[in-house]
Structure 1
Amino acid sequence: MIKINNLSYSLPQKDLYNNISFTLEEDQHCAFIGSSGSGKSTLIDIIMNPEDYMFDGSLEIDPNCKIGYVSQFPKLDKAKETTVFEYLCEDFNKLQNEITSICAEMETSSDMDALLEKYQEALDALDAKFGDDFESDLNKKLNLANLNNLKDSMISELSGGEFKLIQVIKEMLNRPNLMIMDEPDVFLDFENLNSLKNLINSYKGIMLVITHNRYLLNHCFNKIIHLENHVLQEFDGNYIDYNFTLLQTKIELQELSIADDEEIERNERIIKRLRDRAEVSGETAAGRYLKGKMKFLERLEARRIKTPFVEIKQPYIRLTTKNAVEEKTALKVNNYSVGFDEILLENVNFEIKSNDKVAIIGLNGTGKTTLLKDIYKNDNPAIEIDSDIEVAYLSQLQSEILNESNTILEEFLDAGFKTYDDVECYISNYDFEPELLNQKIESLSGGEKNILQLAKISASKANMLLLDEPTSHLDTYSQLALEEAIKKYNGAILMISHDYYSIINCVDYVLLIENKTIRKMNMKKFKKMIYAKYFDKDYLEIEQKKRELEMKIAISLRNTDFERAKALSEELEAVIKLL
């Protein structure tokens, strides 16, 4: 269906790909992974609209290939006065209406041959696009996604997560040969994440999905494409096998690479001694031996082990405070209520201390973001923030915090940095190269924008952070870096999250939104609820153990402790068998 050969493409500020190649064929559900900003979304744009890009190499797409697409940022039209059912039927109804219109023309027209041809073309288009069981297919997909109860709801009433699933269903109903989705899991609650998994696994065509979600990666794909450091790696198999193979490769290649480095250094020392001797003595034999050694060194460097997948970018995220605050009540919420057309939250009460780390959880559309924004604005009489507490906010709508028409440099100069050098020094910790400082924020990936938000709120040195889906769009390595930063942060954190691992690894307790109110829940009860309602207990605990071992292996490799890395790898292999 799709074949890419030796494709190279560069932006003004950086190279994205260097001679990458891969194919997508029948029945392949392919996960497209890689660090934030590596060019995954751009590559999808090239596949969707190749005529808009100047790239080297070739892109072959079967001329009969119909492509369906779900954007990273689908726009929900709040003014759209239509039900979910009507919205899903839009394209189908257009063709049906066209057929009805042709039939009406036939009653009065004398040119029946042309109309019959037009009628047959419309029937063929209807059959090719939807088949003869469209409504049955629609109902099956709504049931599969547990969204049948929304059939008669207005599109304008949907939460962002619900609308994302409806977008997936709408594209699937068009029966494309290739379904492309860019981070379809972002902002989905635990229930809707399971629904997305069911939809992906039920789909019969080819699929290419950008995702960083380990639950989907572990359960939905039979092919992996990994884009990293301008290079692409293709793997036929599931993500668990790929990730283990990658770790094994890292261990082997890094060991060989270090051995190569040592051999090259040893020969460089020999050459230096020979050069010094030749210069002093002028011996012809010494000169010939020197030339021989120099040629041998050139051969060593030419075959030197290249390890593009060993060094995967991980930003050093720091969340800092200006002053540590003694333990006290940082935030008090008394009898808070909010609603629009209907009540979302009613008579909510809770307190957060100055060193608490808390997650707000609840289904999509229950008022979590509205509450967090009201706390940040601090103009509601039901909300009281201690006078010693300074608040910073990370938004899931990144343009609320970042001026996307700014360059990175302008954004941080506006935030109080004095010079170019100050910004360059600070932002380099977050893996932004100097050449990116003059890049417009609007051109960054979703993950890069979130990293930029984290850098900006850390620079504020606030002692209470309000984080709305901070792990959204972040690659796995950035998620782990953020978890570490949250654990080390010396202040209060209130975050909305649907990421199970970020919650259990980072927070002291959760605030559960249920039945229009909030109740406090300790971590033991939270885990028990998740096991009962959403995910298998054994899977989650084994996956957590697997993740811990992978991190230990990464640390061992960083310390060039290959024996420990190999031992941990054997332990990891045993854990993977349990999955």
Structure 2
Amino acid sequence: MIEIIGLEKAFGEKILFSPTSLRLGARDRIGLVGPNGSGKTTLFRMITREEHPDQGDIQIRKGVHIGYLSQEPMPLQGQSLLEEVQSGVKDLSILEDKMRLLQEEISEEKDPETLEALAEAYGKLEERYARRGGYALESQAKAILQGLGFREEDFSRASGELSGGWLMRLALAKILLANPDLLLLDEPTNHLDLQSLIWLEAFLGDYLGTIMIVSHDRDFLNRVVTKILAIEGKRIIPYSGNYDAYVETREKKNAILEAALESQRKKVEQTERFIERFRYKATKARQVQSRIKTLEKMERIEGPLESQKTMRFSFPQPIRSGRVIAELKEIHKAYGPVKVYSGIDLTLAREDKVALVGVNGAGKSTLLKLLAGVIEPDAGMIQLGHNVSRAYFAQHQLELLNPSKTVWEEIFSLAKDESISFLRGILGAFLFSGEEVDKKVSVLSGGEKSRLVLAKMLMRPANFLLLDEPTNHLDIAARDVLEQTLQNFQGALCFITHDRHLINAVANKVIEVNAGQLIIYPGNYDDYLYKKELEKEAEEQNGGISRAGDGETKDRLGRRSKEQKRLEAEVRNRFYRETLEIRQRIQTVEADLDRATKEMEELARQLADPEVYRRGDNIPELLKSHATGKKQVEDLTAEWERLAQQLEGLEQSRSSPSEENV
């Protein structure tokens, strides 16, 4: 599909790619990795012809359609969300425009022969439109939007109302619906919550085209890609397998290189000592010259690949707090008519490292802001424990950095009696070294600003850290720094992240925020998923949902007593009564859809009949009926899908009376 031949690219004196060549095949799942600034985005832009190589070529098979999700906001066309997403399927949009123009011409044309020609052209266009999936496009667009976290009521909103993170989701939805042959995704997970991220993984798993991804989420790469392209030493090196396999191969490669380099170094030292010792002895002249030539001809082994390992640094620990960090009692919070919490309670202890999970809009950020004191509850009480100090991190805090200061000046502004070496150690741990500490804040990337804010926060840490998406814009090396620091942190921690690796490494408790309720699960993210699976199995065994507050199943789950069978029969009967109206409506919609489809077929037959145009009668009425029928079929199809989904949801969530009050 793509062949890179002798690629070279530089910006001024900075060389990104020395001559490098490789080939990408159909259905490849590729992760593109490398340090920040190594040329990943530049490679994407060269593939899309937005930039050009200095030497060499990137050859793309003729007819290949490329979809590119960049980190830049996409231009909007002043449409609704649903219209904006559908507009990305350009061939269908063009067909729709042509069909609409033909309909207008047909409605105004009087000449029978011209009408016949127009009708024939319209029929061909409609056939292409149907074959290309035009009539299913809207339902596909809605499914993708919902998968990425949009609600049905959002579909008619103006796209210009969206904030940056939601705009990126919209851009991703637009590209996925377009179904390109080659999908280039530059940091697609940055603005997704966990549920949307899991949906995207499943979507990409079924994707039929070639995928190339830049991502700093190693779990995402492990689940999606089967090949890694690593930018190393200004070349693009292919590795088989996912990200973990790449790291393992790379470490083995480094170990071999280090051993070979050490062996060569010793040989060179021995040779140089011999030359120095016998340089001026006539009897050894021939041997000396031979060894000099050996050194000159020796092909020097390049050193190991640049290590991704981070500098070890012991961050200062906070002052010790009381056992209880924070206590929430009967908390109520709403935004206008939208109630987020109605009487929740929560107690956090000194040793808690809590990850908040839940669908977008469930109230995770609201809970974090309540705990941080950024917002106040409408009712209820928040009480901090003895000697508790709080520090809050969110993306908007990057704007609080002084753009005229350097990295060093920002960190030095917090210094009291800390030594210069200590301050440099803090910056070094967060990957600022050498001339990088003299960079102005105004020229820092988003990831560099995040690192600087986190370094300042952890330089003299509070004993209760509250972090909202701290890994956004951080590369894997910087995430490792944060992970190690939070693992060693001896205070309490509450954080939101879509980085499952970070949750697994740091959290000892997961709180699921769901419909205004807090459900606590001890352990990390894998433990949480395991307990959710147990609950699902219990539901399937008992015909209901286990609602054990601590996420643990009860010993009695799975036992089938006479009483339980009676209760299950009650559940089935009640479920039948509750869903009767939906099932009856589905039957009605199916009948209406069958009738409307047959009417559409009859109208299409009439519109394709040349005799109709020769007579010239009722053509506007036929076209109007056809347009109305088309809209009716689409509406009925959408309603049937909604009802079927609603019924399926009720089947999955029906609960046994024996467990409703657990």
**Band the TM-score falls in, shorter-chain normalisation:** 0.7 to 0.9
Matched residue, 1:22: 22
Alignment of 1:558-573 (within 5 A): none
Matched to 1:503, the amino acid is I
Contact 1:315 1:431 survives alignment (8 Å): yes
Q: Secondary structure at the match of 1:186?
A: coil
Contact in 1 for aligned 2:144/2:173 (Cα 8 Å): no
Query: Offset at 1:526?
Result: 2.5
- Amino acid aligned to 2:519: R
Q: After superposition, what is the alpha-carbon deviation per residue over 1:227-258, rounded to whole angstroms, capped at 9, x for unaligned?
A: 23433212355556544433432333332222
Q: How does 1:419-434 map to 2 (within 5 A)?
A: 426-434=426-434
Q: Can you give the 5+ residue segments of structure 2 that lack an aligned partner in the other structure?
A: 538-662
Quote the offset at 1:225 in angstroms.
0.9
CA distance in 1, matches of 2:75, 2:326: 33
- CA displacement, residues 341-371 of structure 1 (integer Å, 9 cap, x when unaligned): 5222332332333443222222222121233
Q: Is 1:249 the counterpart of 2:253 in the alignment? A: yes
Identify the residue that residue 291 of structure 1 maps to in structure 2.
289
Matched residues in 2 for 1:359 and 1:13: separation? 44
- Per-residue deviation at 1:181? 0.9
Shift of 1:187: 4.7
Percent identity, aligned pairs only, is 25
Answer whether contact 1:398 1:449 (CA < 8 A) is retained: no
Query: 2:102 touches 2:122 (CA, 8 Å); kept in 1?
Result: no
* Structure 2 residue 259 is matched with structure 1 residue 258: no
1:257 maps to a residue whose letter is L
Q: Is the 8 A contact 2:356 2:494 kept in 1?
A: yes
Deviates more, 1:196-205 or 1:519-528: 519-528
In 2 relative to 1, CA 169–138 (structure 1 residues): closer, same or farther, beyond 3 Å?
Answer: farther
Asked if the contact 1:161/1:192 (under 8 Å) is kept, the reply is no
Superposed, 1:125-164 pairs within 5 Å as: 132-136=132-136, 139=139, 147=147, 152-155=152-155
CA shift in 2, pair 1:218/1:126, >3 Å: farther
Structure 1 segments unaligned to the other structure (5+ residues):
536-579
Which residue number corresponds to residue 7 of structure 1? 7
Q: 1:368 aligned to 364, 368, 372, which one?
A: 364
In structure 2, the residue matched to 1:573 is none
Q: Matches of residues 25-44 of structure 1 in structure 2 within 5 Å?
A: 25-44=25-44
User: Per the alignment, do residues 136 and 125 of structure 1 end up closer, same or farther by CA in structure 2, a change over 3 Å counting?
Assistant: closer
Query: Counterpart in 2 of 1:175?
Result: 179
Flag the 1:242–1:148 CA change in 2: closer, same or farther, 3 A: closer
Higher relative CO (Cα under 8 Å, sequence separation at least 6) belongs to 1
- What letter is aligned with 1:314? K
What is the CA-CA distance between 1:386 and the residue it aligns to?
5.4
The DSSP-based 3-state class of the residue aligned with 1:60 is strand
Matched residue pairs, number?
519
Equivalent of 1:320, from 315, 318, 325? 315
The one-letter code of the counterpart of 1:373 is K
Structure 2 contact 16–38 (Cα < 8 Å) conserved: yes
Pick from 233, 239, 261: which aligns with 1:235? 239
Mapped contact 2:88–2:175 kept (Cα < 8 A): no
- Higher Rg: 2
In 1: Cα distance, 2:122 partner to 2:30 partner: 33
Q: Which AA in structure 2 matches 1:231? A: R
SS at match of 2:467: strand
1:1-55 per-position Cα deviation (integer Å, ceiling 9, x unaligned): 433334344456954433343333322222212344433233323433534x674
**Structure 1 residue 455: deviation in Å?**
1.9
RMSD: 4.5
Deviations 1:288-314 (A, max 9, x none): 4333323323334x3325432xx3223
How many Å separate the matches in 2 of 1:294 and 1:419?
49
Matches within 5 A, 1:120-519: 132-136=132-136, 139=139, 147=147, 152-155=152-155, 167-235=171-239, 238-239=242-243, 241-275=245-279, 278=280, 283-300=281-298, 302-308=299-305, 311-316=306-311, 320-321=315-316, 323-340=318-335, 342-378=338-374, 380=376, 382-385=381-384, 388-396=387-395, 399-400=398-399, 402=401, 408-409=407-408, 411-412=410-411, 426-439=426-439, 447-519=447-519
Distance 1:126 1:519, change over 3 A: same
Q: Deviations over 1:62-109 (max 9, x none)?
A: 5643321223476899x9883x54443345685324541354256669
Deviations 1:205-239 (A, max 9, x none): 22211123344333333432112343321235555
TM-score, normalising length: structure 1: 0.74
Amino acid at match of 1:338: K
Q: Return closer, same or farther for 1:123/1:182 CA change in 2, 3 Å cut-off.
A: farther
CA distance in 2: counterparts of 1:195 and 1:132, whole angstroms: 25
Q: Which moves more between the two structures, 441-450 or 15-24?
A: 441-450
For the residue of structure 1 that corresponds to 2:325, the secondary structure is strand
Q: What residue in structure 2 maps to residue 566 of structure 1?
A: none
Q: 1:542 is matched with which residue?
A: none
Amino acid at match of 1:289: Q
1:526 matched to 2:528? The reply is: yes
2:488 counterpart letter in structure 1: K
